[in-house]
Structure 1
């Protein structure tokens, strides 16, 4: 018995006998006014310590994820004398002009794993990728994480897990990671996002939030130094303005944690509306960040692996697939025998909708995240190379290009008579002559900064008026002929989600808290026709509202789909299909819709008669 105790004691002593330190940087935000200077100072400060063995960087490397910002960050971080390990944060993924692919091109990966002194370090981000929503661990990333722990020996390794968000409801599927970590020898979870040193209890798992590298109210930026010594981890705040670093937290690494029961999403709302059922469901295994297109027999959609699918609309069986060379976040458009979409591999594709054969491929200078609009055999689409194009549908030849953008395009344009209108991530809404591509007008809101751009909203048009909602919480009506602003209101606290009735007489908007309402499509700001309290809470999803046969559909950021009578706003049914992001729905009719989501599911949801 004494020998067994001695062996156990020696193993624990050996595990924590070697002391080591690492630096921990997070929330760098290159693109903010002092960010480059702050990071330079931190890198030089870290280099001044001979006993820091490596650096962890836990996300929000940039302000908006542009290649320029990422390249600047890398050029500074590469000055570190010791190795560093890095993941992106939501600022690097949500506003990414490359669909999160430039990060991988620069650093080789957007996740990491390594072992140091018998402790396993795993870093994995949770987006959200391209769409404003809660964080979300992608299905492809969860598979990668699982692949690291195939044996009992792998699972027994002391683990320090690094992500960007805290593992709570700020990540829509936090439970997927916490239940995994509870089966492993997890010692602590490190994350940023909150810009402050703070302690968390993550269902019994210790969590530590790190300060931002930005200087905030201090004269200089800073970071954390983490020391592993004996059986404990010690956290020190290090400001670049002096040589001192002060311990602010310590954590035992030998303690046996008492895990709390996992808090899981509530799907009981589905019991209230039992007539709403899943007719069929197909899972691609990868994040889907775009809406599906349909015709009478087919469903078309792409995923983050770069694969594009045609499914049978009746039973969801795969009819054909086509592989691009990077992620697809562009919602396709179908016209005649053609299906068109963009890819992050920088190309626009036109396929034969019947067999998936390539008809033409148009190469651009950057990722194509915008969704196409097809009218009269012309494809209209914007790209991340800051060019909006008109392309001949049958032949794939360029008709005209507009290169006056200062940001990328991610939404679908709309057409009003001879004008085409769309937003970009450069603060502006654009109106071009659809025949020549000449600029007719551009509009900008009254709040500065690209985060307020009307770029994720698909505009709606009625009677010569274009209506938009933007992240500035304002709804705006603009005359399509002149670009004159007719009215603008912040009364309803809107954000990016809008829709229009099939007869173009009503505008539907979702507020950021609980309600959906209908307004007259008018050049005057009138009182709402109806307001419905849907009780969905705080919602920032950019999914649009669609109407079909007098019924409107909208999915929240946490996967609850609402169906309302468009005439009076009465709730017809609710159905929760996931706890994560759902793209703009595609309605077959008022009782049958196609749903795509971050889980990689393509689902046919029906209302039984």
Structure 2
């Protein structure tokens, strides 16, 4: 055994000889308790420790679903490293987190790092997506942090960038902006994961090297990467557990002086003269909530945890309140008060005009779901619980406590029932008078990532219609939860809406088309489908209809208006690089929507932009 260990150390150090700075890089390790990746990680940690590799960087997808149990397990395993290690989250930690990513921060402290080693400065940052399906994005506050941090790097020190997503625009929405920022400081090389393969991409002279996952398709066994940085070059080696090194890439640092242009977003099908689209507010942080709109102000929550109220007239902030954690639940405007469900485990009521806190109500887990006011009651999903709240007194009327995971989309309330999904694979229907379960429905699969959790159910004519990530549209009896029809003829996902007369369900398809389906027929009956020109789509932004026009929002910040009668695209405009969160129509007929990059837009109609 001792001879094998000594032989292994000789082989591994052979990979690292003659290097100025060397380290191991792990990515996409996807560890769950008891799976093959868990054993492979234990073997990798043992190899790295025995060879005294100077340090380790792990660039995301530590787990499969980002659950608290998985995170605790992988943190325990990392504790066996005898060398320093630096960790970033991946999309599997930030998209489906039962703790709204709070458990990750509790265990690992931060979702970014910066440190110097020899003549190299390493900077790592989070690329999301954040608590819903979408493209990756580097948050606005992280962009400013990268800028500040790199501005202090001494001359002659080479910069190394690390994150989970590659810079390709189909993966990282603001990839061009990130590259431009890194080029500003002459970054020497970038490393990423996500693709589960080796791939050397070049953006304006900047190498962005994608590295292997623990297991590769058809591979002979688990492995990881060893990186060597000299004063003028990069060497990337693949290391199979128990085997020799194999060189994957060797290249010289380039001048990195071919600037990547940041795209202009004014394109598409132009607006008609009577439609006015205005960027009315740019926040200093990212926005993952929709916009609530009152008589005099509009409201949203941002990724720094602030609830913000902005004057509709002056478009200036009027008040704000810090909750301490990123917000994902859209505030609810209830006239005189604003209701907020926060990730600090608290429900709030604020005076809508002045921001004075009227009451707060403690929950026992983060809130990420959208809520709704119906008949003077606040219906709000939480983690493994669903609530009816009296918004005047700040007290629970009833609590349903038999969910298997957290809620996300806004519930639907009608005919004495409230319907909603959770990330446990079920759609639930409760009696909204007493909170008793009427029925719960499952698609027959055990895959929780197919849950109908981030789709707003449509209730019409004693039917509940949903779409889900399994790409089925389903009609369910509101009375007993029996499946009426179910179809995967079109690639639906999580985005749908209802026509103004309640007779048609619209769904944005994953190929960028808009599907119209009868809400009243006894069987699945598609009425028409039209190409909205969005291409591949997975953003869950709900579809809305207003005055005969159907509105869609995309993962790339594109908004499309489609005529319901002619099915023609009336206009299509790209407003940014990130996904549209959702639309809200105010009482004056203006449409508000937010983008994850921190923008709030307003659509008005007529001869005046106001």
Q: TM-score, normalised by structure 1?
A: 0.92
Question: How do 1:43-58 and structure 2 match up within 5 A?
Answer: 43-50=45-52, 52-58=53-59
Map of 1:148 onto structure 2: 149
Map of 1:586 onto structure 2: 584
On the 8 A contact 1:149/1:155 being kept in 2, the answer is: no
- Pairing partner for 2:530 from 520, 529, 532: 532
Map of 1:559 onto structure 2: 557
Map of 1:325 onto structure 2: 324
Question: How do 1:367-516 and structure 2 match up within 5 A?
Answer: 367-384=366-383, 386-516=384-514
Supply the distance in 2 between the matched residues of 1:380 and 1:454 (Cα, whole angstroms): 18
Supply the distance in 2 between the matched residues of 1:598 and 1:339 (Cα, whole angstroms): 22
* Residue-by-residue CA offset, 1:44-97 (whole Å, 9 max, x unaligned): 1211112x1100101111111222211111111121111111111111111122
Supply the distance in 2 between the matched residues of 1:349 and 1:567 (Cα, whole angstroms): 42
User: How far does residue 187 in structure 1 lie from its aligned partner after superposition?
Assistant: 1.9
Map of 1:295 onto structure 2: 294
The CA RMSD over aligned residues, in Å, is 2.1
Map of 2:543 onto structure 1: 545
* Residue-by-residue CA offset, 1:434-487 (whole Å, 9 max, x unaligned): 122221111111443111110111111110001000001110000011000000
Supply the distance in 1 between the matched residues of 2:524 and 2:18 (Cα, whole angstroms): 72
Map of 1:356 onto structure 2: 355
On the 8 A contact 1:17/1:230 being kept in 2, the answer is: no
Map of 2:98 onto structure 1: 97
* Residue-by-residue CA offset, 1:495-521 (whole Å, 9 max, x unaligned): 100001122111111111121122111
Map of 2:124 onto structure 1: 123
On the 8 A contact 1:530/1:568 being kept in 2, the answer is: no
Map of 1:164 onto structure 2: 164
Map of 1:13 onto structure 2: none
Map of 2:6 onto structure 1: none
2:261 pairs with 1:262? yes
Q: Which moved more, 1:456-465 or 1:177-186?
A: 177-186
Supply the distance in 2 between the matched residues of 1:327 and 1:148 (Cα, whole angstroms): 22
On the 8 A contact 2:475/2:486 being kept in 1, the answer is: yes
Supply the distance in 2 between the matched residues of 1:331 and 1:104 (Cα, whole angstroms): 23
Q: Which moved more, 1:273-282 or 1:94-103?
A: 273-282
- Number of residue pairs aligned between Structure 1 and Structure 2: 589
* Residue-by-residue CA offset, 1:200-231 (whole Å, 9 max, x unaligned): 12232112111112465456422111123453
User: How far does residue 108 in structure 1 lie from its aligned partner after superposition?
Assistant: 1.1
Structure 1: stretches of 5+ with no match in the other structure: 1-15
On the 8 A contact 1:280/1:315 being kept in 2, the answer is: no
2:228 pairs with 1:252? no
Supply the distance in 2 between the matched residues of 1:19 and 1:309 (Cα, whole angstroms): 49
Map of 1:521 onto structure 2: 519
Supply the distance in 2 between the matched residues of 1:555 and 1:156 (Cα, whole angstroms): 45
User: How far does residue 396 in structure 1 lie from its aligned partner after superposition?
Assistant: 1.4
Map of 1:340 onto structure 2: 339
Map of 2:280 onto structure 1: 281
Structure 2: stretches of 5+ with no match in the other structure: 1-16
On the 8 A contact 1:465/1:523 being kept in 2, the answer is: no
Supply the distance in 1 between the matched residues of 2:251 and 2:589 (Cα, whole angstroms): 55
SS of the residue corresponding to residue 485 of structure 2 reads strand
Q: 1:304 to 1:257 in 2, by over 3 A?
A: closer
User: How far does residue 146 in structure 1 lie from its aligned partner after superposition?
Assistant: 0.4
Supply the distance in 1 between the matched residues of 2:68 and 2:206 (Cα, whole angstroms): 36
